[in-house]
């Protein structure tokens, strides 16, 4: 029997390519490396899996497909990764699964982990529903354009209809352009707070080519610092940005951005519809 009391966090969007897998690998690395959490990353994108490929795992000996099809016990399919987290990777060659078994396979692992992150499929069918059902809370990934926003609104509606609490939105691939939708507009349209704003950053693609989470490959990039702030907020702690410029700016410019305010409110349990942060063992 483990001593942990893990929370299952599903990372969803019902549009492809917005950054779910990038979020899972970077948040996972931040939880493990920065905050000493015991973390499991799960690839629940059964028909087009790619979490393994982000992390240098090509075809695992035993996959989530084998687990969901009752071919192997879940423990046998877990890979202990050199980056400090565990991974339940998917097979690139199988796509037949019983997705609704995901919850019953992950629930017993909650006592073994502090955080279980699920990388979901973008397909609005039983694939993404299996993530919603297995999760204690959801992070919805979006980007600041109308087509993605409309998918994000839909994803939020489906999650609310299923009563899975939404922790908040991650606004990814922002370019700070006037034509982009603002954080406020996205919050208004979705009724959901933005917890992190992650800039579009070529280093994320460079890190992918090295099959390494960017938050390990280039830890002081703005994008990576955002993942660390988000990880901290989700476990109710703080991340101290060590960069000199940030320290100077925080002395002179005390106004907080909207996502910073939301993270503070989240930690205090004051964000409407947000679930309690998971507990943290290390500051
Ligand atoms: N902030 C970012 N800056 C630059 N590139 C990014 C950023 N976030 C993600 N990407 C890149 O965008 C591509 C799609 O990202 P990712 O695979 O994480 O999306 P996804 O939502 O998981 O896609 P799918 O729905 O197909 O599983 C990848 O090449 C990734 O490296
Ligand atoms: Mg993906």
pLDDT in tens, 43-99: 999 999 999 999 999 999 999 999 999 999 999 999 999 999 999 999 999 878 899
Residue 12 lies in a domain: yes
Per-residue pLDDT band for 277 (boundaries 50, 70, 90) equals confident
Q: CA torsion 135→16→212→214, rounded to 10°?
A: -90
State the total domains in the chain: 1
Pocket of ligand 1, candidates 21, 125, 131, 226: which has the most ligand atoms within 8 Å of its Cβ, to mutate?
21
Cα–Cα distance, 118 to 12 (Å, whole number): 8
Q: Give the pLDDT score at 253.
A: 78
Is pLDDT above 50 for 283?
no
Cα–Cα distance, 115 to 112 (Å, whole number): 9
Range of the domain at 12: 7-267
Q: Are 228 and 263 in contact (CB under 8 A)?
A: no
Nearest residue CA, atom 14 of ligand 1? 17
Judge if the beta carbon of residue 40 lies within 6 A of ligand 1.
no
Per-residue pLDDT band for 274 (boundaries 50, 70, 90) equals low
| CA 226 to chain CA centroid, nearest Å | 12
Residue 10: phi and psi, rounded to 5, are -90, 135
Residue 274 lies in a domain: no
Residue 260 lies in a domain: yes
Per-residue pLDDT band for 282 (boundaries 50, 70, 90) equals very low
The CATH number linked to 114 is: 3.40.50.300
How many angstroms separate the Cα of 181 from the Cα of each of 147, 157, 171, 228? Answer: 11, 20, 10, 24
Q: Give the pLDDT score at 279.
A: 67
Q: What is the Å distance from ligand 1's center to 39 Cα? A: 21
Q: What is the mean pLDDT of the chain?
A: 94
Cα–Cα distance, 178 to 229 (Å, whole number): 25
Q: In DSSP terms, which residues pair with 79 in a beta bridge?
A: 87
Residue 2 lies in a domain: no
Residue 281 lies in a domain: no
Residue 275 lies in a domain: no
Residue 93 lies in a domain: yes
Residue 149 lies in a domain: yes
């Amino acid at each position: 029997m483990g001593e942990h009391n893990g929370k299952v966090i599903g990372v969803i969007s019902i549009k492809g390519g917005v950054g779910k897998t990038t979020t899972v690998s970077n948040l996972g690395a931040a939880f493990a490396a920065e905050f000493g959490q015991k973390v499991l990353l799960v690839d629940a994108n059964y028909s087009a899996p790619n979490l393994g490929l982000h992390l240098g795992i090509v075809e695992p000996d035993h996959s989530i497909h084998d687990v969901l099809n009752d071919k192997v016990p879940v423990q046998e399919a877990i890979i202990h990764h050199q980056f400090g987290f565990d991974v339940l990777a998917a097979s690139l060659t199988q796509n037949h699964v019983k997705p609704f078994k995901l919850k019953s396979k992950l629930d017993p692992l909650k006592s073994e982990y502090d955080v279980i992150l699920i990388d979901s499929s973008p397909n609005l069918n039983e694939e993404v529903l299996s993530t919603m059902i297995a999760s204690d809370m959801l992070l919805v990934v979006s980007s600041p354009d109308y087509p993605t926003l409309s998918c994000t609104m839909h994803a939020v509606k489906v999650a609310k209809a299923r009563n899975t609490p939404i922790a908040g939105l991650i606004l990814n691939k922002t370019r700070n352009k006037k034509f982009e939708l603002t954080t406020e507009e996205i919050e208004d349209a979705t009724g959901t707070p933005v917890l992190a704003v992650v800039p579009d950053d070529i280093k994320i693609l460079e890190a992918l080519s090295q099959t390494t989470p960017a938050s390990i490959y280039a830890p002081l990039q703005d994008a990576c610092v955002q993942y660390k702030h988000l990880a901290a907020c989700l476990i109710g702690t703080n991340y101290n940005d060590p960069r000199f410029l940030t320290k100077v700016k925080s002395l002179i410019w005390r106004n907080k951005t909207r996502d910073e305010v939301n993270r503070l409110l989240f930690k205090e349990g004051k964000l409407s519809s947000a679930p309690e942060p998971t507990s943290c063992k290390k500051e």
